[in-house]
Amino acid sequence: MPVRCFTCGGLIGDKWEEFRSRVDGGEDAGKVLDSLGVTRYCCRRMLLSHLDILDEILEFSKKFTKGSR
């Protein structure tokens, strides 16, 4: 998750986990963003369009880090 918004530089990294879990819990993404205080559309798209690809990379790296480093 990017730490800051690419356009305005506002902090958005710390809102990702709450956003993700609440949206996964069935809440409306727009309303979650409103309640998190993410008002500008540049920052909103950061959270809306993000895919946590690191999870998949970790799945792959598991094979190589097992046991020893």
Partner 1 sequence: MEVKVLEAEGNSVRFILSQSSPAFANALRRIMISEVPCMAIEDVFFYENTSTLDDETIAHRLGLIPLTTDLDSYVLPEECECKSEMGCSRCRATATLEVEALDGRKTVYSGDLKFDDPHIRPVSDKIPIIKLEVNQKLKFEAYAKLGTGKKHAKWQPVAVAAYKYMPNIRINLKKCDACRVCVDACPKNILQVEKDVIVVVDPVSCTLCYECVKACPQDPSAVDVSWDDTTLIFNLESVGGLSAKQVLFKATEILKKKAEEVTKKLAVKGGKQT
When CB distances are held under 5 to 8 angstroms depending on the partner's kind, the choice from Zn ion, partner 1, none that residue 3 binds is partner 1
The CA–CA distances, whole Å, from 67 to 7, 59, 64 equal 42, 15, 9
Q: Binding of Zn ion at residue 10 (CB under 5 A)?
A: yes
Cβ-based nearer residue to partner 1, 9 or 30: 9
Kind plus residue range of the DSSP H or E element containing 29: helix 29-35
CB of 47 closer than 8 Å to CB of 17: no
When the beta carbons of 24 and 55 are compared against partner 1, the nearer one is 55
Site residues, Zn ion (CB under 5 A): 5, 7-8, 10, 40, 42-43
